[in-house]
Each structure stands twice: as C-alpha cells, then as structure tokens.
Amino acid sequence: MKHRIAVAQAHPQIGDVPVNVASIRRLATQAKDSGAEMVVFPELATTGYGFRDAAELSLALSDGTGLDRIATLSDELEIVIVTGYAEIQNGKALNKAALFSGGKLIADYVKTHLWNTEKELFVEGASLPPVVDTPIGRVALAICYDLEFPELLRHCALEGADVVAAPTNWPAGFEAPSHYGPFNGELLRAMAGASTNRFYVAIACRTGLERGVDWVDNSCVIDPDGYPITPLFRGEGVEVADIETDLSRLKDISPRNNVLGDRRRDLY
C-alpha cells in the first residue's frame, strides 16, 4: 500500500506547553495540506528539552501535558500524529512518545535508553516499544538514542513494523567527520537500522537554540534500503515522503537471503 508521511522539524520553547502545542497544530496542518496521513514531531516537542531539574519540568506541566489538544487535532485533521512529550508520573519524570489517531491515544511509550544528562532527570522505560496498527500500516515508536541499539530495532521488525516513528533531539557537537558528507553519526546509525531490518524510519529532530545548545536538525524519512528519501534541512519546516508498505514487508535481499529468516537463533 502507498501512503504519504511527514516529519516536522519544530522549535520547541522551553517550558511553554501552550506555545509548543500551537506550533504542533501549525506544522501538522502544513503536513495535512501536503497530503500526509501521518506526521512525526520531535522528542519532548511539547515542553522543550533542557530542564534543570524535575521541579522545573513539573512547573512547566502544571497546566497539563497538552496531549488532549493533540488528540483532538488528530481527529480534526484526520491525520496520525506522533509526538514526544514529558510527563510526571508518581513523582517520576518520564521522556515519552505518543501516537494519536482519530482523536484517540493508540500507543504510549517511555524512552528505553536515556542520553547523557537525561539520566539525571528522567526515569528509563521498562518496556519494549509498542508496534501498533494504524491507517498507514504498523508503526513502532522509538525515541532518539533508542535508534542506536540494534536489538530494539530488531524487536520492532519482528513485531511487523512498517515504519519506526522516532521523535528525536540530536544535539550538535557530536557530528561525524567532514568526509561523511551531510550525515551525522546518529543519522548513519539510523540508516543502518532501516537497512538491516528493511523498514522505514521517520525521524523528526528539533531545531533552534535552547539554553546555549544547538541541534543537528536533519529530520528525514529513511527507506528500507537505508537511504533518506527526503531532503535534509535546517530550521523549522515539514518534509513529506511517499512510502510503500509492501517494500517494508519484503525482507528478502537476494534469492537466497532474508534479513529475518537468516538469523542464527541456534547461536544468538
């Protein structure tokens, strides 16, 4: 089946949920106007990223997470929305992703692999990513650093994911050597994960300075061959890609090889 999906590169404002939800509405509308059936937003798109501590994050969430408005938006625009967000649950700060369709929360996920200072703020997840049926096929959720763990992406493949939707915040300063071209190291590893599992990966990174931190940007959709099929870009915006879920379900890479069937389960 052919579908059109979008990645939205947003500039969240630290601690300002209403402004960030308004930005999500604007970019989701742009995606819908471009014919997209699903749009992915960055990690912590509702709150921003660089909180000093859980108390500051809790204050930002004092009037709610904003998810109710995003759920309504998914129904209003008739589009699947995946977004990163933060939540305080039983006194613990969680870095999460949610998938909405038809006004309903279809999937909710806590980030499994925390990056750097996230470990001082958030509690890591205790469950593997969900893989759920949506109008554009089976979608898995992953968040940023999760993409660098082959085991997690292989789980998504074994659960039949057509697309891994990945809200992301890639901080600048960890770029690959210049001879790698436009591909930062994190993107290269995501490209490898798409190729070795033969599925699409839709990465939505943030943009804009936040408390002195800049970001790589480079939101894109990667195809099952492991190549970006949308332009890499800087700044706010939306890019769309036409995908073919039949390709993500074809795991053969030669007449005698299948990326899932060739696993040596007797050895590993």
The yes-or-no verdict on residue 202 having pLDDT over 90 is yes
Tokens of 213: 């931190």
pLDDT tens for 67-83 read 999 999 999 999 999 99
Instruction: Kindly give, in sequence order, each residue whose CB lies less than 8 Å from that of residue 138, ignoring residues fewer than 6 positions away.
Output: 131, 132, 159, 160, 161, 162, 163
Cα Rg for the chain, rounded, in angstroms? 17
pTM of the model: 0.96
Closest C-alpha among 145, 93, 149 to residue 114: 145
- Specify the DSSP class assigned to residue 213: B
Closest C-alpha among 7, 24, 12, 5 to residue 215: 12
Domains and CATH numbers, the chain: 2-251 (3.60.110.10)
Contact predicate 148/12, CB 8 Å: no
Give the pLDDT band of residue 177 (cuts 50, 70, 90): low
Closest C-alpha among 41, 14, 13 to residue 28: 41
DSSP per-residue codes, 138-203: EEEE--GGGGG-HHHHHHHHHTT-SEEEEEE--BTT-PPPGGGTT--HHHHHHHHHHHHHT-EEEE
Give the pLDDT band of residue 194 (cuts 50, 70, 90): very high
Phi/psi at 101 (5° precision): -150, 130
The C-alpha angle 90, 128, 186, rounded to 5 degrees, equals 105
**Average model confidence (pLDDT) for the chain?**
96
